Amino acid sequence: MHDTDCINFLQEYLPVLGYRWKGFRKVRRQVCKRIRFRIRELGLTNLHSYRQYLENHLEEEKVLDSLCNITISRFYRDRVIFERLENEILPYLAEKAIRNRQQQVRCWSAGCCSGEEPYTLAILWRLSVLPGIETDIPLQITATDRDPSLIERAGKGIYPGGTFKDMPLEWKDQAFEKRENNFHIKELFRRDVQFLEQDIRYDLPDGEFELILSRNLVFTYFQEDLQLETLHRMMTKLKPGGYFITGIHESIPEGQNILIPFGKCIYEKRDY
C-alpha cells in the first residue's frame, strides 16, 4: 500500500468519521500501518477491497474509528503549560476554593491516555501547590478516555522510564517507586484521580469543574463543526471563572464567545 493511496483513503474516510485530515498528517504512518494490518486480518488484498468491505459491512466503521485513535502522551507534556498551571492557575483555584469554603477543587482531564496528564496534575498539586498554602484542600481529578485498555493501564499506574523525559527528576523520584525496570505511582497520588471509560462525543462526567484539560484530542483530530459542538458541551461542565486548557499546537474554533484567552493555550470561562 503506497503512502499516497493511504492518504487518499484517509482524506476520504476521516470526514465520514468526524475527523479532519490536518490532524492526521503527521501521524498517518501509524494509522496506515494499522489499516494494512486490518486488511490482512480480514483476508483482503488492498485498499480498494477494504473500501468495498466498508461499504458492505457498516459495523466496520467502528473498527476503522478505533484504528484512527492516536494515543501518545507523556508526563509533564508541554512544560510551559504545566509551569503556568503550577505557578498561577492551580494556586489561584486553591485559594479561591478555600475563600469560598469549598471542600475540594475539581478538574477534568479529557482524553487522559494512560494517566500521564492527570497524574502530573496530582503530583503538581501535592508537591508544589499544597506546600504553599495553609489548608490541605484536595484536587479531585476525573480522567476520561474512550479506550478501556488505556483506562485499565492508567488505574495500575505503572510506567516505563521513557515517559518521564519532560518531568523534573525530583518529582519523579518523590511520586514513583522503581520496581525492576518500571515506575509505580505512589498511592498518595493515585487516590486523587478517578478514571472513567467515556467517549467525549457521547458522554460527559458528572458535576462541574474548576479546570478542564482538553489537550491533543478534540482540537487536533475532530472536524471543525464537531470541535465546536464538543466545546459547547464541555462548557456546560466548566464553572464560570474556571479555566480551560488546550494542547500547545491547538486553537479553539471561532464562533464561541464563552472563553476569554488567558495566555497561550489557557482560557477563562466568562463569569457573566
Ligand X SMILES: C[S@@+](CC[C@H](N)C(=O)[O-])C[C@H]1O[C@@H](n2cnc3c(N)ncnc32)[C@H](O)[C@@H]1O
Angle at 267 between CA 261 and CA 270, to 5 degrees: 90
Stretch that binds ligand X, among 55-63, 98-106, 110-118, 188-196 (CB under 6 A): 110-118
Q: Is 175 a binder of ligand X (CB under 6 A)?
A: no
Are 66 and 109 in contact by the 8 Å Cβ rule? The answer is no
Distance CA 117, CA 233 (A): 21
Q: Is 70 a binder of ligand X (CB under 6 A)?
A: yes
Residue selected from 10, 64, 130, 150 as contacting ligand X according to rule CB under 6 A: 150
Q: Is 217 a binder of ligand X (CB under 6 A)?
A: yes
Q: Output Rg (C-alpha) for the chain, integer angstroms.
A: 20
Q: Is 205 a binder of ligand X (CB under 6 A)?
A: no
In DSSP notation, 136-197 reads ---EEEEEEES-HHHHHHHHHTEEEGGGGTTS-HHHHHHHEEEETTEEEE-HHHHTTEEEEE
Stretch that binds ligand X, among 36-44, 135-143, 185-193, 214-222 (CB under 6 A): 214-222
Q: Is 146 a binder of ligand X (CB under 6 A)?
A: yes
Closer Cβ to ligand X, 24 or 189, answer by number: 24
Residue selected from 38, 184, 186, 201 as contacting ligand X according to rule CB under 6 A: 201
Q: Nearest distance from residue 247's CB to ligand X, in Å? A: 6
Q: Is 147 a binder of ligand X (CB under 6 A)?
A: yes
Residue selected from 242, 247, 267, 268 as contacting ligand X according to rule CB under 6 A: 247
Classified as helix, coil or strand, 240 is strand
Residue selected from 6, 118, 124, 145 as contacting ligand X according to rule CB under 6 A: 145
Q: Is 122 a binder of ligand X (CB under 6 A)?
A: no
Largest CA distance in the chain: 65
Residue selected from 1, 7, 51, 69 as contacting ligand X according to rule CB under 6 A: 69
Distance CA 107, CA 142 (A): 6
Contacts with 33 (C-beta within 8 Å, 6 or more apart), sequence order: none
Residue selected from 13, 23, 35, 73 as contacting ligand X according to rule CB under 6 A: 73
Binding site for ligand X (CB under 6 A): 69-73, 77, 111, 113, 116-117, 144-147, 150, 199-201, 215-217, 247
